[in-house]
């Protein structure tokens, strides 16, 4: 029965709609599902591996002319698919085992509102993307550790069968035979990278602070020019930069590379976009407390926009460290490390192993700087976000 209050009636509690909660997958059922998935992934991995080894052995016999090419199976040209299947199987197996152990050991942890198959699909998708992104790096490092005969093998192997450091030793021997010491190239590159990055940071951050927090005639037009400059690559601006550096009599000096780096538009754009999110009341409060413009900029603005200038440092170091600078620097004693390594890399077939070692050495510094800075970038992005 329903109770009446005036002209209204209220339904009894028994009439309330009951929402059924979805049943949770028990630990035993999940363990059974995990066992089936692990068995399937292991079977795929082992099958791809065994077929790959068999076809590799037959291909080697064909190369040694102990077996006719017509005797190869029909799937012999598809070795790369077996290699990819083996790698993906191993990666998926490792990720799923970690996920399954965590799910079984800690079943009370907070989970999103999706099924076990949704979690598995997301983990597999992330694994595939991670393998695709890390593959060039792994292949470059593995190629630098291969002997010369494995570098020319077709179809190529990802990992070397006979690991060797001869490529690196040959590279250092070749560099030591140059009439300009190897250390000179390294010092030139470090000098250009350090001064160019520091100057780019100072110029871009100061200009961005003025454009973001102060109104003056022509400010918007100037920023529109900066945004337009983002569309032009270094190949387009190479000729204007050369003409300007020639008029300033800086050709064949390190300043011909450093000064254009100061005016790179990407740093100014990035810093301005971050500084626009800083509350103007924060700056006004600092003015009331008697702080000057430089103190406000150095002690208040720069710590808040730390993600921006850390990201800008990564981009600047990448560009300057990989700068060839052969068009503006002619003296051999002033050349950069990348130029010297590229000359070795262009030495022909005999230096293919040294070229693989050059690729690894050139990309080490940008990767190391990114790894060292990414934690601070993520932490600062999560903790700083003051808005008006």
Output the average pLDDT for the chain: 78
Evaluate if residue 49 carries a pLDDT over 50.
yes
**Beta-ladder partners of 5:** 8
Instruction: State the pLDDT at residue 386.
Output: 47
How would residue 16 be classed by pLDDT, with cut points 50, 70 and 90?
very low
Confidence of residue 384 (pLDDT cuts 50, 70, 90): very low
pLDDT band, residue 362 (cuts 50/70/90): confident
Mean pLDDT (whole number) for 370-388: 58
The region of weakest confidence among 19-23, 76-80, 111-115, 157-161 is: 19-23
Q: What is the pLDDT of residue 73?
A: 76
Residue predicted with more confidence, 270 or 15: 270
Class at the top of the CATH hierarchy for domain 171-383: mainly alpha
pTM of the model: 0.64
Closest CA to 305 of 278, 339, 335, 336: 278
The whole-number average pLDDT for the span 223-231 is 86
For residue 248, the 8-state DSSP code is T
For the ranges 98-102, 168-172, 266-270, the lowest mean pLDDT is seen at 98-102
- How confident is the model over 368-372, as a mean pLDDT? 77
Collect all residues with Cβ–Cβ distance below 8 Å to 279 and sequence separation of at least 6: 386, 387, 388
Residue 216: which pLDDT band, with cuts at 50, 70 and 90? confident
Q: What number is the average pLDDT over the span 370-375?
A: 72
pLDDT digits (tens, 9 = 90+) for 80-109: 777 788 878 887 787 777 777 767 765 555
Residue spans per domain, the chain? 27-163, 171-383
Give just the sign of the alpha carbon dihedral 226, 232, 237, 240. negative
CA atoms within 13 A on the CB side of 358: 21
Label residue 12 by pLDDT band (50, 70, 90): low
- Over residues 239-260, the mean pLDDT reads 89
Provide the pLDDT for residue 92.
78
User: pLDDT at residue 383 above 50?
Assistant: no
> 272-316: per-residue pLDDT in tens?
888 888 888 888 888 888 888 888 888 888 888 888 888 888 888
The pLDDT of residue 252 is above 50: yes
pLDDT recorded at residue 106: 58
> What is the reported pLDDT for 377?
62
Per-residue pLDDT, 120: 66
**Are 385 and 277 a contacting pair, CB within 8 Å?**
yes
At 52 the pLDDT is 79
């Amino acid at each position: 029965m329903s109770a009446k209050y005036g002209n209204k009636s209220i339904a009894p509690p028994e009439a309330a709609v009951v929402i059924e909660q979805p049943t949770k997958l028990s630990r035993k059922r999940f363990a059974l599902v995990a066992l089936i998935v692990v068995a399937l992934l292991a079977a795929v991995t082992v099958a791809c591996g065994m077929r790959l080894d068999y076809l590799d052995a037959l291909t080697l016999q064909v190369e040694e002319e102990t077996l006719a090419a017509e005797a190869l199976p029909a799937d012999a040209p598809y070795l790369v698919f077996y290699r990819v299947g083996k790698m993906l199987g191993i990666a998926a197996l490792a990720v799923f085992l970690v996920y399954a152990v965590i799910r079984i050991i800690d079943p009370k942890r907070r989970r999103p509102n999706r099924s076990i198959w949704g979690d598995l699909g997301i983990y597999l998708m992330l694994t595939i993307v991670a393998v695709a992104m890390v593959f060039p790096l792994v292949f470059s490092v593995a190629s630098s550790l291969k002997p010369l005969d494995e570098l020319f093998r077709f179809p190529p192997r990802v990992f070397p069968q006979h690991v060797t450091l001869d490529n690196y030793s040959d590279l250092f021997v070749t560099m030591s035979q140059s009439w300009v010491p190897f250390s000179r190239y390294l010092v030139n590159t470090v000098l250009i990278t350090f001064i160019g990055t520091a100057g780019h940071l100072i110029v871009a951050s100061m200009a961005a602070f003025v454009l973001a927090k102060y109104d003056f005639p022509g400010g918007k037009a100037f920023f529109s020019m900066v945004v337009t400059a983002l569309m032009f690559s270094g190949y387009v601006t190479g000729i204007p930069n050369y003409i300007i550096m020639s008029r300033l009599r800086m050709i064949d000096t390190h300043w011909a590379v450093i000064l254009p780096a100061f005016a790179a538009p990407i740093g100014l754009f990035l810093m301005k976009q971050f500084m626009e999110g800083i509350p103007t009341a924060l700056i006004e409060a600092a003015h009331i407390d008697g702080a000057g413009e430089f103190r406000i900029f150095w002690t208040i603005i720069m710590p808040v926009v730390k993600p921006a200038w850390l990201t800008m440092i990564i981009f600047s170091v990448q560009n300057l460290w990989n700068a060839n600078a052969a068009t503006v620097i002619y003296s051999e004693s002033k050349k950069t490390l990348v130029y010297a390594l590229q000359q070795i890399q262009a030495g022909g077939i005999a230096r293919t192993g040294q070229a693989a070692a050059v690729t690894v050495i050139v990309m080490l510094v940008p990767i190391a700087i990114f790894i060292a800075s990414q934690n601070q970038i993520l932490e600062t992005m999560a903790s700083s976000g003051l808005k008006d």
